[in-house]
Amino acid sequence: MTHPVVFLGAGPGDPELLTLKGRRLLDEADVIVYAGSLVNPALLTGVQAEIHDSAGMTLDEVLAVLVAAQRAGKKAVRLHTGDPSLYGAIREQMQRLDREGIGYEVVPGVSSAFAAAAALKAELTVPEGTQTVIFTRISGRTPVPERESLRRLAAIRASMCIFLSAGMMEQVAAELMAGGCPPETPAAVVEKASWPEQRIVRGTLADIAEKVQAAGIRKTAMIVVGQALSDEPAAVSRLYDAGFSHGRREADALSPHQQSFQETS
């Protein structure tokens, strides 16, 4: 009997932020290949599997381990930080497995974007404010298409979770301001979100780079930018509004404002 290779989201660091399914898959695995630089090794305490750290391995080497394990009828897990669908480089691995005719599945995890939002106690979508979140990064060794440059995305004024970019905080802030985000736009950086050593730096686009540099933060950090981080009083979500009916609750009586909302939605 063969088992599909599993691409598993390890979550942001705290071992309790691994899914129950993830915990079971790690405990049942025969072979685990994990990204040693980011995945918390505490997740692997007590597992029976043979463990490989992909930090010192090429793509070919990683695939050779996964393919050999799967062909030998073993349970193989490729453990990625956060959620595998974001900057996980799983696509190239899955395409290689396709070519080898090897089955696989993907099990989601808690992205560091959400661990960072939790650390900041932020709601990234704000009623009557922004209803959009952008996951992005600054162009570095991996280029970003010009149409998605931070300067262009800035014009949208959505909440932004910026990965892989804390080492270039000055350019990030400069690009966002050049694209039209006011300098007073709230910005925060969360280093090692959900780890015991988590640190938070809060500021605005005008001063965040300086503060992040003073704190010595360069990597394993999430940049969160947007008006959603401000402490302005929030508009009240219509979800809990007594006059707003949705599937489970009929409106008592509709105010004119809500009537027009219902007509347009």
Cβ closest to ligand SAH, residue 3 vs residue 8: 8
- In this structure, the dihedral spanned by the alpha carbons of residues 25, 11, 86 and 141, taken in order and rounded to 10 degrees, is -110
Under 8 Å between Cβ of 54 and 31:
no
Among 6, 7, 8, 12, binds ligand SAH (CB under 6 A): 12
Q: Collapsing DSSP states into helix, strand and coil, what is residue 70?
A: helix
Cβ closest to ligand SAH, residue 77 vs residue 244: 77
Cβ closest to ligand SAH, residue 13 vs residue 129: 13
Cβ closest to ligand SAH, residue 76 vs residue 106: 106
Min CB(189)–ligand SAH separation in Å: 9
**Interface with ligand SAH in residues 161-220 (CB under 6 A):** 163-164, 190, 192-195, 219-220
Amino acid at the residue 79: L
Asked if 54 touches ligand SAH (CB under 6 A), the answer is: no
Q: How far is Cα 60 from Cα 143, in angstroms, rounded to an integer?
A: 23
Q: How many CB atoms lie within 10 A of CB 131?
A: 11
Cβ closest to ligand SAH, residue 118 vs residue 251: 118
Among 26, 38, 97, 212, binds ligand SAH (CB under 6 A): 38
**# residues contacting ligand SAH (CB under 6 A):** 25
Instruction: Kindly provide the b/e burial profile for residues 212-235, where b requires at least 16 CB atoms within 10 angstroms of the residue's own CB.
Output: beeeebeebbbbbbbbbbeeeeee
Element (H, E) at 153: helix 150-153
Instruction: Kindly provide the b/e burial profile for residues 168-179, where b requires at least 16 CB atoms within 10 angstroms of the residue's own CB.
Output: bbeebbebbbeb
Cβ closest to ligand SAH, residue 97 vs residue 221: 221
Min CB(19)–ligand SAH separation in Å: 13
Min CB(248)–ligand SAH separation in Å: 32
Residues 6+ apart with CB under 8 A from 140: 164, 165, 168
Among 90, 116, 154, 229, binds ligand SAH (CB under 6 A): 116
User: Do β-strands 50-53 and 31-34 pair in parallel, antiparallel, or remain unpaired?
Assistant: parallel
**Interface with ligand SAH in residues 82-111 (CB under 6 A):** 82-83, 86-88, 111
Q: Which chain residues interact with ligand SAH by CB under 6 A?
A: 12-13, 38, 80-83, 86-88, 111-112, 115-116, 163-164, 190, 192-195, 219-222
